[in-house]
Amino acid sequence: MTSRGIFRRLFSLLLLAWALGFIWFATFLPRPANEPIKTDGIVALTGGGGRIPHALRLLERGAAKRLLVSGVDREVRPREFAVEYQVPAELMACCIVLGYDAVDTRTNAIEAVRWMKENRITSVRVVTTDWHMRRAIFDLADEAPQGIVIIEDAVVSRPSFRILFLEYNKLVARLLAWTIGW
């Protein structure tokens, strides 16, 4: 067999693996956490509908004592956030931290781990959209110290093919980068 034939077979095998991976990714999206689960903290990642309201409901129900909203736009002030999401002032003051440092999923993880260390949090519930959960959890687990309990609590959505395609490729790229040490 020629080197060209070997290349074609290898390329076909990689393409098949990618396609099967995409089918798995799109078909078996992460689900909401089974209740009741209590954790020390909740981390809500901005960027998708329903994430913040879900995290606030969990906090109000006592599923955790603290909430970090990671990736908040620097222009948003705590008072504006409280008005937008109808958060009582007492709850805002005691239990909610707005994180302004994150600009992507990787920096969400860095911001969340710093917050967990500062608050001695040993268990955390991550709230993000179902299609985003795998990459968010991968990055958080990669950054977090050993022994941190991470609970996935996906917000169910109806993602378009485009969103699934982009997110799957971001996950594949992230896994490849991690594999080669980036």
3-class SS of residue 87:
coil
3-class SS of residue 160:
coil
> Tell me: the pLDDT tens digits for 51-73?
999 999 999 999 999 999 999 99
> Tell me: the pLDDT tens digits for 104-161?
999 999 999 999 999 999 999 999 999 999 999 999 999 999 999 999 999 999 999 9
Residue in the block written with tokens 């985003």: 132
Report the CATH architecture of 41-179. Answer: 3-Layer(aba) Sandwich (3.40)
pTM over 0.75: yes
Domain boundaries, given as residue ranges, for the chain: 41-179
H or E element: which one contains 153? strand 149-155
Q: What share of the chain is helix, strand, coil (3-state, %, to 5)?
A: 50, 15, 30
